[in-house]
């Protein structure tokens, strides 16, 4: 398994990381057997995968609890990233929630502790209906001072962020915090970070943890039509606002462009005689600006498929062909990486 530096943090992470959202089971991804989680985590470690990504909000903490259980006896082999919800960042609350995550993960420290979304009312509203929390979020300075205290106390090794745009990263860096990583959506159909965010992260020594590389299954090849998607998986700006369950963006989407891109990606996979999953994931991993690309594996069979992508030697020509195929989607959706809000009302800037 190839390794890359996580920005300038000194951490080395596997180019393929483990997305742990489904661990513990829940409404979004359905039930998840703990025996399968244990088997997948141990197999991943055996194959050289060391980065495991979770969050307190994933299945109401059950993801962290499941991962902590699976890592018993092997915690020292893993780099754990977890995320604090933006509704829980007032000082006392943040410290308590960090302790809660440590307890669920059965560990004394979290390697990379990330602010899940930027500090602004739109982000807070995503996590809570409490009007007081929404109306008066803490300042960026206060949040990162608390995170620095947690780092000084040894509760966390590195401070991270997630879903932050360039201006928001500048605000964070002005607090004096050293940011190890920014976790961002990145796939063949979600390339917005390429324009400004990725270059800025490289300039500042901030590693990128790429999530959603399979576009929630859309790039796996198992769907022949967008109509087969579950409404919960069709809430992003890729789709017409009427398609998804709980959709907030109100935009027309890019369904024609997405459908045509999927057709061409499928044809290219057939031409190369590889699975569409392998091709799509290999494309994301090939970008040297992405430290680790996280993807979920519900069982060992899925894990082995994902490992094939990490091992696949994708050529620059194939990368360029895939870029051309998906350029119409990029142009239609624009360069704002928040795919779930209207781009005029984005949580990221």
Domain harbouring 128, CATH code: 3.20.20.100
In this structure, are strands 3-5 and 179-185 parallel, antiparallel, or unpaired? unpaired
Taking the alpha carbons at both ends of the chain, their separation in whole angstroms is 34
Residue 243: inside a domain: no
Residue 29: inside a domain: yes
In order of 100, 108, 118, 199, 210, the CA distances from 183 in angstroms are: 22, 23, 12, 14, 6
pLDDT surpasses 90 at 306: yes
In the prediction, which pLDDT does 106 show? 98
In the prediction, which pLDDT does 135 show? 85
- What is the span of the domain harbouring residue 73? 3-220+277-313
Q: Among the listed ranges 80-84, 244-248, 345-349, which one has the minimum average pLDDT value?
A: 244-248
Rg of the chain, C-alpha, whole Å: 19
For the chain, what is the domain count?
A: 1
Residue 61: inside a domain: yes
In the prediction, which pLDDT does 244 show? 85
Q: Among the listed ranges 64-68, 119-123, 283-287, which one has the minimum average pLDDT value?
A: 119-123
pLDDT surpasses 90 at 121: no
Residue 341: inside a domain: no
- Find the length of the chain: 349
Residue 271: inside a domain: no
211-266 per-position pLDDT tens digit: 999 999 999 999 989 999 989 889 999 999 999 888 999 999 999 999 999 999 99
Say if residues 5 and 11 touch (Cβ distance below 8 Å): yes
In the prediction, which pLDDT does 87 show? 94
């Amino acid at each position: 398994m190839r390794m890359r530096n996580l920005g300038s943090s000194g951490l080395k992470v596997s180019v393929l990381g483990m997305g742990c959202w489904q661990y513990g089971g829940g409404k979004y991804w359905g039930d998840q057997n703990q025996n399968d989680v244990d088997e997948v985590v141990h197999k991943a470690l055996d194959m050289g995968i060391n980065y495991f990504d979770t969050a307190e909000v994933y299945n109401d903490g059950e993801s962290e609890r499941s991962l902590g259980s699976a890592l018993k006896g092997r915690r020292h082999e893993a780099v754990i990233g977890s995320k604090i919800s933006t509704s829980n960042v007032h000082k006392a609350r943040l410290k308590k929630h960090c302790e809660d995550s440590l307890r669920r993960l059965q560990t004394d420290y979290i390697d990379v502790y990330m602010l899940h979304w930027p500090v602004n009312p739109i982000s807070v509203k995503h996590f809570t209906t409490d009007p007081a929390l929404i109306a008066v979020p803490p300042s960026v300075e206060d949040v990162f001072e608390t995170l620095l205290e947690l780092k000084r106390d040894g509760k966390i090794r590195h401070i991270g962020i997630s879903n932050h745009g360039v201006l928001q990263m500048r605000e964070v860096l002005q607090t004096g915090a050293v940011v190890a990583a920014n976790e961002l959506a990145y796939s063949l159909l979600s390339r917005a970070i390429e324009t400004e965010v990725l270059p800025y992260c490289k300039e500042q020594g901030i590693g990128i943890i790429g999530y959603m590389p399979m576009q929630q299954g859309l790039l796996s090849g198992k769907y022949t039509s967008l109509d087969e998607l579950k409404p919960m998986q069709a809430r992003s700006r890729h789709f017409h606002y009427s398609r998804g369950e709980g959709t907030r963006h109100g935009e027309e989407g890019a369904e024609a462009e997405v459908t045509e891109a999927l057709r061409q990606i499928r044809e290219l996979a057939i031409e190369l005689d590889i699975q569409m999953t392998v091709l799509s994931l290999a494309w994301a991993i090939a970008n040297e600006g992405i430290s680790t690309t996280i993807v979920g594996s519900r069982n060992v069979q899925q894990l082995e498929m994902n490992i094939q992508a990490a091992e696949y030697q994708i050529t620059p020509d194939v990368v360029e062909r895939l870029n051309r195929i998906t350029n119409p989607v990029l142009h239609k959706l624009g360069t704002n990486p928040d795919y779930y809000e209207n781009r005029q009302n984005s949580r990221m800037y």
